[in-house]
Amino acid sequence: MARVLVGVKRVVDYAVKIRVKPDKSGVVTDGVKHSMNPFDEIAVEEAIRLKEKKFASEVVAVTCGPTQNQETLRTALAMGADRGIHVEIPAADYPKVGPLHVSKILAKLAQKEEAGLIIVGKQAIDDDCNQTAQMTASFLDWPQGTFASELKLEGDKLTVVREIDGGLETIELKMPAVVSADLRLNEPRYATLPNIMKAKKKKVDKLSPSDLGVEIATNIEVLEVSDPPVRDAGMKVENTEELISKLKEAGLV
């Protein structure tokens, strides 16, 4: 039975209206409501289901970030993960962290914890990178099943149904493997109050990136973050003739 490693990220809640900082260096995150990345919730749920079906021995939730990330870890524990690992990155350094660092960290942890399966969300809703699963698989030289909408584990064979542009693709991977969860994989359970109280007693280990031999340095510099341009108002036309004349006026036909 495999030990499953699940990566969870703390992001600005999806319903909150994002505001760009006045100095255009990024978006305002102070005091803004945060929650677990929705795709990571799905990843946690899948890992727990594997454990409930006795295909996995233990579910370990991992998060990389400042102190507040502990809340996200606690939610994963409340959903049913067995223990947590918080890779602490000071708030000042956090903007430098990207999928490259996280995937190095996950790869090192997978080796350290002797994990047999890594499940992460397909992408984070703040940066939309969609890179961590792929890079992690590469560092470990493990097969990857991304955009998973269905997962089946039999012995050391993992069958993944992937959502691709043309439809659905079914592949077979030999464990150990990396999977990224897509929207239709499952519907995550609620973190109920009794489970949140139990989760308080579950173990959370703290590490720093240097403990894993990972350096937080980046070659990427953010020059500017700005709002998308305001959409121009549209106009209503009475009939097709008017439409054509307006298009001609604008030089489009």
Residues 6+ apart with CB under 8 A from 153: 2, 50, 55, 56, 117, 159, 175
Alpha-carbon distance of 218 to 38, in angstroms, equals 26
Alpha-carbon distance of 123 to 168, in angstroms, equals 19
Phi–psi pair at 218, nearest 5 degrees: -135, 150
Residue 129 or 196 with smaller CB distance to other proteins = 196
22 counts as binding other proteins under rule CB under 8 A: yes
CB of 216 to other proteins, least distance (A): 27
Residue 141 or 187 with smaller CB distance to other proteins = 187
193 counts as binding other proteins under rule CB under 8 A: yes
Among 52-60, 124-132, 148-156, 193-201, the segment contacting other proteins (CB under 8 A) = 193-201
Residues 6+ apart with CB under 8 A from 65: 9, 10, 87, 88, 89, 94, 97
Alpha-carbon distance of 113 to 221, in angstroms, equals 33
231 counts as binding other proteins under rule CB under 8 A: no
CB of 182 to other proteins, least distance (A): 19
Q: Which of 53, 190, 223, 224 binds other proteins (CB under 8 A)?
A: 190
Q: Which of 25, 57, 192, 245 binds other proteins (CB under 8 A)?
A: 192
CB of 235 to other proteins, least distance (A): 17
**Contact predicate 39/107, CB 8 Å:** no
Question: Residue 147 is encoded by which pair of tokens?
Answer: 């955009």
194 counts as binding other proteins under rule CB under 8 A: yes
Parallel/antiparallel/unpaired status of strands 167-174 and 157-164: antiparallel
CB of 136 to other proteins, least distance (A): 29
3-state DSSP assignment of residue 229: coil
> Residues in contact with other proteins, total (CB under 8 A)?
20
Task: List the one residue out of 70, 25, 78, 68 whose CA is nearest residue 188.
Answer: 78
CB of 74 to other proteins, least distance (A): 11
**Contact predicate 9/180, CB 8 Å:** no
Q: 30 to 69, contacts with other proteins by CB under 8 A?
A: 31-33, 35
Alpha-carbon distance of 246 to 105, in angstroms, equals 56
CB of 141 to other proteins, least distance (A): 37
Q: Which of 125, 175, 196, 212 binds other proteins (CB under 8 A)?
A: 196
235 counts as binding other proteins under rule CB under 8 A: no
Residue positions counted in the chain: 253
Residue 197 or 222 with smaller CB distance to other proteins = 197
CB of 193 to other proteins, least distance (A): 4
Q: Which residues bind other proteins (CB under 8 A)?
A: 13-17, 19, 22, 31-33, 35, 187-190, 192-194, 196-197
